Structure 1
Amino acid sequence: MADAASRILELAEHALSTAFPLRVRAWDGTEAGPSGAPVLVLTRRKALRRLLWRPGELGLARAWVAGDLDIEGDLFQALDLLSGLLWERPETGPAPGPVRGTAEAVRRAATVLRDPGTYRLARSALALSGPGLPPAAPPEEVRRRTGIAHTKRRDKAAISHHYDVGNDFYELVLGPTMVYSCAVWGPEAAEAGPAGLDDAQRAKLDLVCRKLDLRPGQRLLDVGCGWGSMVLHAAEHYGVRATGITLSVEQAAYARKRIADAGLTAQIEIRVQDYRDVRDGPYDAISSIGMAEHVGSERYLEYARTLYGLVRPGGRLLNHQIGRRPLRDEEGYHVDEFIDRYVFPDGELSPVGTTVARLEEAGFEVRDVEALREHYARTLRAWVANLEAGWPAAVAATSEGRARVWRLYMAASAVSFQRNRIGVNQVLAVRTPEDGDSGMPATRTAWLS
């Protein structure tokens, strides 16, 4: 087992057919790879065993969440270096399934390495990883779900997994505004870190209110209201009567307390309710900020039609949603395994063009699309900085494994936004009356000032 780091590096470079960009430190204290680069630390041999039994992203995620694998140095730089090798390589087929038995592990490793001489390396890797059955998945992982996706019951369970982590944890990560979506950063904001995050989030909420042209006395429905930040801002600054809906019991309790503390219980109602069960329309405006990613592509037209039926003629919808780059073959799209198992169960991303098409198919007239991709990369970096600065408290509020999930998820997402793998867009739509008078301004000037 001497010099495990060199053997791991050799295995990685054969698998990737290129130089491995990170330095490697193994459990035996040995190191190999480029000096000065971030260090991939395999704290236990179990990390390698996880990768051999479950090749690909899920094996890496399990090793990270369990603490068998870590990054020493700049996490963003490390993920950026790995991104082009692991996540942006051309697709060669569906994600590999679980390995069943040592013989299959040898065959799988040899196949992945795609080299006549790699069988020896595969056997070497198995010997290096140590004997034993596949390590158990970390407890933070959601097990495989059965049945039909995006039923009301299954959606509620998925939302609970993601949002009922503990409000203390979210306060630490998100800061006082408790806004869990892309902020809008002005040119005067600080260049790095969480400085200015609260102002940037308030600027985003205000931008949404201006795009919706909110007026005193109007009715606003906020779909996926989170901890109540949007409805609070709209009621306080625009005088609306607001209804917020969420599937998270913890979010609803937190939002109600904030509303009571602000003295706005007469203006704002928070419900634990599925959007498909809202029956008290019409509303003058609807905001949906960071919620539509949970809907699912097969249900998206239903979502759009439901919102169309809940807004009055002339009323507006602001749909703020993460989108992915389109694929040449959309049939080949598969959900990110790490995100699906650890972060957003049953979540799906669609290209912005698909979102616009579904909204229009439901009857909306789409009037404006604004891309905020770079703003989200910056927002995520601020959240990671908050998490790292409060690490002991974050672990105490949840678990070390859950905190590790969030650190990797947010840092990797920041890199994905930077590299244009994903984006985020505000789509402003209106339910145009039959006479064609949408009531929309001729230019964006109305909400830019």
Structure 2
Amino acid sequence: MLSIDKVFHASVVLKNIVRDTAIVPTEGITEDCQLFLKPENLQKTGSFKLRGSGYKISMLSDEEKQRGVIACSAGNHAQGVALAATKSGVNSIICLPDSAPISKIEATKRYGAQVCLVEGVYDDAYNRALELKEERGYTFVHPFDDEDVIAGQGTIGLEIVQEMNDVDAVIVPIGGGGLISGVAFAIKSMNPNIKVYGVQAAGAPSMFNSVHEGSIGCLESVSTIADGIAVKQPGEHTFSLVQKYVDDIALVTEDEIAAAILTLIEKQKMVAEGAGAVSVAAAMFNKFPIAGKRVVSLISGGNIDVTILSRVIERGLMKSGRSSSLVIELIDKPGQLQTVSRIIADCGGNVTSVQYERAGEIESINGCYLKLGMETRNYDHVRMIASALTDNGFKLIETK
């Protein structure tokens, strides 16, 4: 059974396995609260997953360790199990769909695991892992719905309270619920007055829906850049613990997640994956009543796919008003672009792209459309530029 003694035991066991991730203060991310970060993206393997798998493997009997462990994951859990098993001298096999990124396959191998590629998708890999478990007697390390795994994740909650005993609220990402279950249980056991809030991506609201409906449900599909929390169905243990110990759950959009990733890079020089940034997105976009409070956002991981990072940054720039565009209808005559550019420059904006188009239903036969991409400070700045153009007689068709 999960108990606070078990979580304390896990913290002792994990001393030689995990890295200390001290709480970091922030400036300029939120205006209404004092925001701090618990940077598990700086953990070994780049996420908190090492804690739960490390404790789970440490609790196996000598016979179970001799037989080895098996897991199924296309991401952080795979690497956590691989490293935890290697540190304990235990053989590990990770089943991955053959569509998994090469970088994740190679990272899992580097941590010492044997990789079993399975044709198909995640569910096929999961089923194969269960087959191998039965055939060869491996111990299956579940990514979230296991009390030892939950206790290991709960050590984060202990560390937050021990390091910052005046914290008012903690915001935690939710996928299957293992992380928030452990963190909320530990925090509420030590200080029930601390609020624990959970965050899911709007494109994968499995725990959010289940809690609001009062029973575990399964989503037909999930779609989010926060792939680390893209879980269709929460676990039985985690659902029960979240119901009992978590104060509220909110959803964040893809644009809000992208804006949080960008803000962490710019303001904190910190790289977070989508799943890790949702807790910051919730604080930035006022998802919880935290005004005037001392708040810790848990950054659960930093293993973002670099191939999509530029797209995420672009969305974050657009969401924050740092990247914007205008469509202007004007008379096609010399000097128009120069005048428009001067007005934008005088307002402190920077033109980054120009697109000219004559086609379309334009009022004047000599008319054209001018689409400009701009670097701007924020949405107030965009509005100021638009107002200046309008005051100078230009007709704006679109601003975004």
Is the shorter-chain TM-score for this pair beyond 0.5, marking a shared fold? no
TM-score (normalised: structure 1): 0.28
- Structure with bigger strand share is 2
